[in-house]
Amino acid sequence: MTPFPLEVQKKCPSHLDQHNHRPWWRWDEDADLWVRTDYEDASDEGEILATDSMRPLPHPGWRAGQVWADEEGNTVTLVSAIEGLVCWVSIADGTPTLVTSREGEHFLRYRYLLSDPVSQHLAPWSPV
């Protein structure tokens, strides 16, 4: 799994207990370990990198309400993903715009899942 790009980190900062570059890892003070969203654990950066490369998290799928980001930190909110038609809201220059695309070809540039209100345990997520 790739770390979040610097622009995503700047525009969408992690919570204090999340790993800066890999926010799907959280620090558990009670266990004194890093814990991933699927409950894998790691004691240091080396174990985090090894776990992410050997056992990456599966793609979370697409659901309405998810917030995704591209490499530059631009975010969109997914409205619908049904039968090959993907709709999302993009905010450019402060103006919300509804975008529709067949097979999601334009949506796929948004590779970093920031939030999933329906399945919170699946976010954040990054591709391999």
Instruction: List, for residues 4-37, the tens digit of each pLDDT value.
Output: 999 999 988 888 899 989 999 999 999 999 999 9
Q: What is the pLDDT of residue 103?
A: 57
Using the predicted structure, report yes or no on whether residue 75 has a pLDDT greater than 80: yes
Using the predicted structure, report yes or no on whether residue 49 has a pLDDT greater than 90: yes
Of 37-46, 72-81, 101-110, which one has max mean pLDDT? 37-46
Categorize the per-residue pLDDT at 47 as very low, low, confident or very high, splitting at 50, 70 and 90: very high
What is residue 39's DSSP assignment?
A: S
Q: Is the dihedral of CA 32, 35, 41, 47 positive or negative?
A: negative
Please tell me the pTM assigned to this model.
0.87
Three-state secondary-structure class, residue 5:
coil
**Distance between CA 80 and CA 71 in Å, rounded?**
22
Compute the radius of gyration of the chain from its Cα atoms.
15
Q: What is the pLDDT of residue 38?
A: 94
For 30-54, what is the mean pLDDT?
96
